[in-house]
Every structure is written in C-alpha cells, then in structure tokens.
A and B are shown apart, each in its own frame.
Chain A
Amino acid sequence: MTEALLNTVIHAPNRLRICAILTPLQEAEFQVLRDELGVSDSVLSKHLKQLEAAGYVAFRKGAVNGRQRLWAGLTKAGRLAFSGHVKALHRLASIDDVQP
C-alpha cells in the first residue's frame, strides 16, 4: 500500500499535471503532452527532465515517417510517488478547521 507523502518534485503545478495525465497511460508523445498542458516545448522539456532526474519518468525515442518522436511514461517509482502525493493531498484537503 502506498504511503501518503507530499513530494516536492511532483507538487510543482506543471509536473503535477504531467504526472496526472501520464497516470492512466503507458506512454504519451511529447507533442500530446505539450498540447494538453498548453506550455512551450522548452518548459515541458525542463519539467520532464526534472522528473526524469528524480527517476519518475522514462523516455523512449521512436521514428515515424522518418521523423523523430519522443515518448514519455511514468516509471514504477513515479507511479508510487504520485499515488502517495495524491493521498497526502486528499488528507490535507480534508483537514477540518481548528481555531487556536
């Protein structure tokens, strides 16, 4: 069972959205991610590299009609970290108001 842990690598808005869109997928193409997130190539590339450095995303290069395409997918560690982060967010969101 995944532990509820906040993850500072994943929590940045764009990285959170990248992980979220990749969760139900095995792999997605770079172009698809860019269009869904509505960010530039360089911004997406930067965030993907950070996720890759943390071991959460893996890349695969493929060629279609002679054109290079980059595919990205969550690793097992990435899925676990994202699942733990979502659990932690759920807990945070459900904490009641307490007056000191």
Chain B
Amino acid sequence: MLLSQVAVARSINAAFHYGKTYVAKVERHCVVLAFQTGKRVKTMDRKNEITRDEAQAALNSIETMESAGYRRAVPRRWFGAGIAFFIASLFALYALQDPYPYIVLPILGIAILIVSARESAGAYGRDFPATKASKLAFVLFIALMLVAFLGSIFIRRAYDVSWLPVVVGLLAGLLVFWISEGERRSYLAKAEAGQVK
C-alpha cells in the first residue's frame, strides 16, 4: 500500500471515529474505503459511492439474475432420460461376444445429446461441482460407475454370465436418470426462489 493511501485511510478513520469503518480495498492507486456517516454508507471513491440501500438493491438484483441463470440452465427431462439410455446401452453392449464395433454409438449419442441440449438452451450449468461436498459426491459417483462397469465386464468374461451387463446397465441408467431428475428439481427450486422475491 502506498504511503499516501495509508494517510488517506488514517485521515478518514480520524474524521469518522464515531462511525464504523467498513472495508478497505486497494485498487490500482486508489483506496476504496467504505465508512458510515449517520445513515449513509459510502465508499472513499465518490464516483462509486454506495449507500446501504443501494447495496441492498444490488443484492436483490443479483438474486433475480442468479435465478434467471438457473431458469435458463434447467436440464430438460429428455436430456436426463437420453443420457441414462446411452449409459445403460454402453453397459449392456458388453453382453455381446464382440461389443467393440458398437461401443462408439452410445458414446457418440452422449456427445450429440450434450451439444444439442446446450445449443438449444443457449446456456448451461457448471461442468464441475462447485462445493466440496458435491465434488466428493461426483468423484464417488464416477468411481461407483467404473467399478460397476469393469466388474460386470470381468464377471461376464470369467463366469460367462451374459445377462449381468444388461442388469447392471439398467441399474446404472436408472441411477443416472434419478440423479438428473434431482438436479433438475434443484435448478427449478433455485429458479423459483428468485422469482418469488
């Protein structure tokens, strides 16, 4: 922090010793310091001063726009069902003696579905989870799917149980659809939360 900036901050603190000094920010060569005088909360930068009411109005506007973002990104039901179908197909293909010529089909289907859903909506939710808990849940889900996938292939080959990949595929498909419905409901709830207020 430059000496002049420290001096400015100190002089403000001295002048408004009765008030509550709020948050200081150093941006380039300017100290932005919010403080309270009577009923007004201002920043040091007069051009960008913010009153308490303006801060509240900004927060309301943020909430409205965030809910608009969630509304735009609500996954369609056909999207979840399509992904579940292709995941189930990917698993079930291993019931065949030679599944390799067909494996590309469900993978291609998933890719086309994702691209078309994004393009038709014009917006889409975050690719990876944001919170620690959801990151952990995501990693566990991927691990579970991999274990189920590789396990069913192993048992199919070791014990010649050809129906197992089909059953595991159905279960995996149902799980994916159930998760996608949960995600859809969560987006709808967040979208409605902002509209109600």
Contacts and interface: CB of A to CB of B under 8 A. Distances in A.
Which applies to chain B's interface (DSSP): helix, strand, loop or mixed? Answer: mixed
A53 interface: no
Contact of B32 (A6, A86, A100): A6
19 contacts: A5-B23, A21-B72, A24-B70, A24-B190, A25-B69, A25-B125, A25-B126, A27-B123, A28-B69, A32-B122, A36-B72, A89-B55, A91-B22, A92-B23, A95-B52, A98-B18, A98-B19, A98-B38, A100-B19
Interface residues of B, number: 42
A62 B37 CA distance: 50
Given A11-B58, A31-B122, A89-B58, A21 B27 contact: no
Interface in A62-100: 62, 64, 86, 88-93, 95, 97-100
Interface of A: 4-8, 11, 13, 16-17, 20-29, 31-32, 36, 62, 64, 86, 88-93, 95, 97-100
A32 B61 contact: no
A47 to B, nearest CB: 13
A34 to B, nearest CB: 10
Contacts of A22: 69
Nearest to B30: A8
Nearest to B32: A6
Nearest to A5: B25
Interface stretch (B4-12, B39-47, B159-167, B169-177): B39-47
B114 to A, nearest CB: 12
A25 B20 contact: no
Contacts of A21: 65-66, 68-69, 72
